[in-house]
Structure 1
Amino acid sequence: MALTIILALLVSSPGEGTFELGGILGEPSGISLKYWLGSHTAFDGAVSWSLRDDRGDDLYLHGDFLWHDFGIIEDESGDVPLFYGIGGRVILDEDDTRLGARFPVGFSWLLGGAPLDFFVEIAGVIDLVPDMDFDVNGGIGIRYVF
């Protein structure tokens, strides 16, 4: 029984070196990844494309450093941490390349019995290059936990 409890805790709680890979839908939409640096910090990123009509088929890249607070929501079926962070984004286009800072916030649902991470996020973005501009990104996604 003790072994079962220990294994359940290991599966439901991410730790240093845990890697996640999946997808995100929204703005942006594409491939999402996350690498846990410790029990409360992680790096996440996306390689994607924009769904906005004015951006066409731009290549979109972002990377964020995230902190996770596991004490906000209690759920018996898994962990539901609030996450927040800081990062950067690059949008590559034939005519216009944009570089900016990202400030994401959201929730993950780390399902206790399965190696899945469901998430929803919204991020304020301050573009710095080629000019100052404010934008908002958001999406929902799922990642497989390796």
Structure 2
Amino acid sequence: MTTILFFSIGSTQHLGVGIIIGSPTGFTGKATFTQRSAVAVNIGWSLGDNPKLYLTGDYQFLFPTVLRWTDDMTGEQREIENLLPYIGIGGRFKFKEDEAQHETILNLGLRLGGGVEYLISRFGIFLELYPVVNIYPGTDFDLEGGLGARIYF
């Protein structure tokens, strides 16, 4: 079993910053509090016809040793090392310009999804997918996610 080296910064064990490409495309940050809990935030933009500013925040439940199996030949316990699946719940603020009325529209949504992060020394590469239920100004459904990388301090 491989152990991951954690750096102590305040009450966090791990603090990472990086980039995400997808919906949204921008910057990402993650603070890991224990081996099983973290908070991730993203700030980014959509690259479509109507540019939008996204702010997201999620509490993540981490599952560091969920991918285990027993080798049939040797009977040994095996696991995929440094692969960290997670489930997250959080919220999203999306600001977009209404060019017809010359005003900014705020959309609020609830996010529930997950992903997986692969840790290599001080670096993490992640892939995530979050369905979003928009609750303001109207009820609607979106799908967000992306591929990203972080460096941990």
Q: TM-score, normalised by structure 2?
A: 0.79
Aligned to 1:86: 89
- Give the aligned length: 132
User: 1:1-146 maps to which residues of 2 (within 5 A)?
Assistant: 9-11=3-5, 16-53=12-49, 56-73=50-67, 74-76=79-81, 79-95=82-98, 96-111=105-120, 114-146=121-153
Between the aligned residues of both structures, percent identity stands at 32
Deviation at 1:51, TM superposition (A): 2.2
Q: How far apart, CA to CA, are the structure 2 residues paired with 1:89 and 1:143? A: 20
CA-CA distance at 1:81 after TM superposition: 1.5
Unaligned 5+ segments in structure 2 are 68-78, 99-104
- For the residues of structure 1 that align with 2:3 and 2:21, how far apart are their CA atoms? 29
Matched AA of 2:89: I
Contact 2:32 2:39 in 1 (8 A): yes
Which contiguous aligned blocks of 4+ residues in structure 1 show a shift greater than 4 angstroms?
none
- Consecutive unaligned residues of structure 1, counting only runs of 5 or more, are 1-7
Helix, strand or coil: the match of 2:16? strand
Structure of greater Rg: 2
1:105 is displaced (CA, Å) by 0.8
TM-score with structure 1 setting the length: 0.83
Whether the 8 Å CA contact 1:14–1:39 is kept in 2: the answer is: no
Tell me, yes or no, if the aligned pair for 2:27 and 2:42 is still in contact at 8 Å.
yes
**Residue 38 of structure 1, CA deviation:** 1.2
1:14, CA displacement in angstroms?
7.6
Give the conservation status (yes or no) of the 8 Å contact 1:60–1:92.
yes
| Structure 1 vs Structure 2 CA RMSD | 1.8
